[in-house]
Amino acid sequence: MIRPIIQSPSLLGQVSEPILIEEFDAYHSLFQDLGDTLHNNGRKSMAAPQIGILKRIIGFYNSEMEAVNILVNPELNAPISQWQDELYESCISLPTHSAVLRVRWHDISINAVMPGGDKIQLTFSGSTARALQHSLDHLNGIILTDPI
Ligand SMILES: [Zn+2]
């Protein structure tokens, strides 16, 4: 089910909570909804707070698999290269704001749990790495208009 995109600064400014693995079954419709909403909006990545759920869940478009993947409790690891890019970035939750320059790591590694309960480590580069760093910021209540 496609959910509306939240634009409330007071909600977007909050830190999301992790999900316990025993609770995953109760979240499967939310995992699906986050993927549906991401797909419908044509985004590379989207965080659960953007659909109003303050839980540590991110959906991203996996271009190799041509499918949306869900990451639960994702954590950014130490940088895997020192390469950084400074590019303009926009946010679907801030439609009235113009793009903001943001420095991001070019290559990242993320530890997360898949909806089925498997722990994984994934690496990303370029625009997908940027989108995921943006989504991780959302889990920590950080939005583009916040000072760095
Ligand atoms: Zn955003």
Q: What is the CATH number of the domain that holds 104?
A: 3.90.45.10
CA of 21 to the centre of ligand 1 (A): 26
Which pLDDT does position 116 carry in this prediction? 95
Asked if residue 144 belongs to a domain, the reply is: no
Asked if residue 148 belongs to a domain, the reply is: no
Asked if residue 1 belongs to a domain, the reply is: no
CA of 138 to the centre of ligand 1 (A): 6
Residue segments in the chain with a per-residue pLDDT below the cut of 70: 148
Domain count, the chain: 1
pLDDT one-digit tens code per residue, 52-65: 999 999 999 998 88
Asked if residue 4 belongs to a domain, the reply is: no
Q: List, as own/partner pairs, every contact residues 2-6 make where C-beta atoms lie below 8 angstroms and the sequence separation is at least 24, other chains included.
A: 2/33, 2/36, 2/37, 2/40, 3/33, 3/34, 3/36, 3/37, 3/51, 3/52, 4/51, 4/52, 5/37, 5/41, 5/50, 5/51, 5/92, 5/93, 6/49, 6/50, 6/51, 6/52, 6/93
Asked if residue 101 belongs to a domain, the reply is: yes
Expressed as residue numbers, the domain containing 91 is 9-139
CA of 114 to the centre of ligand 1 (A): 22
Asked if residue 55 belongs to a domain, the reply is: yes
CA of 91 to the centre of ligand 1 (A): 4
Asked if residue 67 belongs to a domain, the reply is: yes
pTM: 0.95
Asked if residue 80 belongs to a domain, the reply is: yes
